[in-house]
């Protein structure tokens, strides 16, 4: 959300569509906290206008596509940017934009999971940025926790650094919290290729083939 407000389209007010996910998932609420913190002040001062808002049940691309198609109809295609919550729903939005020849003209903001298609959209300039779960850090922490439990020992100091509210355990479940990995077209080599998510060959196919990253 912070990156979004720092990279807004030039049109004022920015006509922003919220094509969100499924509110039944905890992830939804956590993302909305970020959007509310950074976007809402600009809505209140008139810099941004939310022209559509809809939830995509189960984060399914088909539901997001339907929502975006309805948004484009309601606004007569007058949308400058779209906020999405993950890469699957982003794909559904892209499908709707494709039908109106708006891909690359209407920017996607948000995204999560770092799917191959999502990262390729970032490289192609269709999506402003993406995020990846910290897979390696989570795996390393999980191994440490399992080994400690197997030995009947307490985790090393600092390994457990927070709690997760599972709605059942009073005070939350002790947890290891790791920051997500932010992906932009400027750091794809480090955050994606060097991290082992995808090879450059995988990324540089299809829509990303002619991107700066792939032609250098």
Give pLDDT, residue 14. Answer: 94
Whose CA is closest to 178, among 135, 129, 145, 119? 135
Could you give all domains of the chain from N- to C-terminal order, each with its CATH number? 2-133+180-215 (3.40.50.2300), 135-175 (no CATH)
The pTM of the full predicted model, rounded to 2 decimals, is 0.88
Between the alpha carbon of residue 28 and those of residues 10, 32, 79, 192, the distances in Å are 28, 6, 23, 24
Share of the chain above pLDDT 90, in %: 78
Residue 8, pLDDT > 90, answer no
Alpha-carbon gap, residue 97 to 93, rounded angstroms: 6
Q: Which helix (H) or strand (E) holds 183?
A: strand 181-183
Residue 172, pLDDT > 90, answer no
Give pLDDT, residue 44. Answer: 95
Give pLDDT, residue 216. Answer: 84
Are 20 and 83 contacting, i.e. CB atoms less than 8 angstroms apart? Answer: yes
Q: What is the mean pLDDT of the chain?
A: 94
| pLDDT tens digits for range 22-70 | 999 888 998 999 899 999 999 999 999 999 999 999 999 999 999 999 9
């Amino acid at each position: 959300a912070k990156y979004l407000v720092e990279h807004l389209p030039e049109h004022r007010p920015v006509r922003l569509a919220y094509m969100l996910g499924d509110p039944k998932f905890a992830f939804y609420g956590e993302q909305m906290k970020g959007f509310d913190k950074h976007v809402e002040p600009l809505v209140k001062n008139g810099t941004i206008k939310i022209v559509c808002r809809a939830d995509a049940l189960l984060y399914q691309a088909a539901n997001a596509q339907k929502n975006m198609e309805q948004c484009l109809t309601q606004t007569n295609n007058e949308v400058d940017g779209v906020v999405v919550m993950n890469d699957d729903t982003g794909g559904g939005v892209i499908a709707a934009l494709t039908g109106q020849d708006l891909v690359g003209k209407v920017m996607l903001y948000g995204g999560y999971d770092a799917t191959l298609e999502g990262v390729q959209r970032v490289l192609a300039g269709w999506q402003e940025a993406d995020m990846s779960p910290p897979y390696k850090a989570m795996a390393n922490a999980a191994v440490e926790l399992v080994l400690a439990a197997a030995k009947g020992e307490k985790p090393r100091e600092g390994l457990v650094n927070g709690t997760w509210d599972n709605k059942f355990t009073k005070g939350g479940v002790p947890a290891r919290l790791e920051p997500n990995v932010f992906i932009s077209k400027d750091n794809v080599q480090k955050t994606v290729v060097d991290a082992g998510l995808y090879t450059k060959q995988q990324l540089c196919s299809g829509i990303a083939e002619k991107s700066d990253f792939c032609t250098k």
